[in-house]
Amino acid sequence: MDIGTAILIIGFAALVAAFLLLVIGLVYAELMNSDIPRGVANSGKLHMVHGLFVGLAIVGRILDRLGICQQVNFVRWFVACFLTRLRPVPAGLRVKDLKFSEVPVRLYEPTAMCDGLRRGLVYFHGGGWVLGNIDSVDEVCRHIAKESETTVVSVGYRLAPEHRYPAQLDDCETALCHFLSVAEAEFSVDANRVAVGGDSTGANMAAALCQRLARTEVGRLPFPCAQVLIYPTLQMADFNLPSYQQNHAVPILFRGRMAFYFLQYLNGDVSLCQDLLEGIHVPTELKPSYKEWLSPSNLPPEFLARGHSEIATAQYDAEVYHAIKAGLEHEVSPLLADDAAVRKTPPTFILTCEYDVLRDDGILYRKRLLDLKKDVTWRHVADGFHGVINFFNHGWLTFPSAAHVVDSVVDYMRTL
């Protein structure tokens, strides 16, 4: 080996070492900003998972700034290649990849004998409208389908930033309506026993879709028999609810990140994140009704025990409002819909997790539904955190509370 080659090798090794040290330093700094309460089950594992995702985000950001690839594409690629594993289809289940009116779906059909038609569930994955896909909830959908003897349709809707609102919701509606139109003839499913559901932003779209269908009152297809909302995000008016304050730095969803995802969904202008967090996007005339629905006094006392502070009313900025006004409409913020729309929603299953910034969204929606005499089933996971369902049956990444979440859905589906 000549001297020039040796110098090149040494220089490259030094560059790699410097890069790794930079990443490690940035990951360490981010980890110091996180807060994992003692009540979280498997907190040590959550620290490791959080560190992994922070590292992915940092490497992706560096690659983005170097012009090598976009951050979101790097994260999607890494998760698909290294954190997603599709197992062989178990006995008792048939799985097919299909397209419903050009929207990719994955169908899960129990093969056990059934007297009559089966029930169905059309499921929308979470991921901030930016991440996630059919594969990311494959284990969840398999378990629900097999254990509750339900035909499950998992929808691969389009994602931001490539596609903005309402593309994602439109895809979900297209897939649902297609399934309802052929449920009995092609899949031996009773169209009158088809529920919609999802986790996180997928649950947002399930709730929004029920309200959209109720408003349009399309009579030729049955209305969903239930909505299954797993730690749903339901409003972007108030990022200072007690759960946002108490869990602002609890992985894997920080307070500021939720504002980022809403903006990615709507228009991609993430420079407005701080404005959303401060609340200057809410018009003065809308604040009284929002306060009625979002007041901490509507929460059970135990959810105030970890403390919260009253935040001074922010000065309204009309320019910010007009940039994000679609986000305060019922199709993005179902919790903020008028009583007439909420009253038309089907029976509801809501699951919340204690250590989740979105906890209060679900609890407050439950109260609105109950106040309107609607049928609501609520389950609360005392040691759960946001995104835990993504770690169901995932080897070393598995969290026991994920099974609690998924089995709660199974139990509810059996009642439909």
Residues sharing a CB contact under 8 Å with residue 250, sequence separation 6 or more, in sequence order: 34, 35, 36, 37, 40, 355, 356, 357, 385, 386
The catalytic residue among 50, 125, 386, 404 is: 386
Distance of alpha carbon 156 from alpha carbon 138, whole angstroms? 11
Tokens 């018009």, residue?
283
The catalytic position among 136, 154, 200, 333 is 200
Q: Which two tokens stand for residue 318?
A: 């009309």
Distances (CA, A) of 409 to 177, 219, 303: 22, 28, 23
DSSP 362: H
How far is 29 from 55, CA to CA, in rounded Å? 11
Strand order from edge to edge, sheet including 118-124: 93-100, 103-110, 150-155, 118-124, 189-199, 227-230, 348-355, 376-385
What does the alpha-carbon distance between residue 33 and residue 35 come to, in Å, rounded to a whole number?
7
Active-site residue identified among 356, 360, 361, 383 = 356
Q: Which residue has the tokens 């996971």?
A: 381
Q: How many CA atoms lie within 13 A of 138 on its CB side?
A: 20
Q: Is the dihedral of CA 290, 234, 231, 259 positive or negative?
A: negative
Q: How many residues does the chain have?
A: 416
DSSP lists the bridge partners of residue 349 as: 228, 377
Q: Is 386 a catalytic residue?
A: yes
Active-site positions?
200, 356, 386
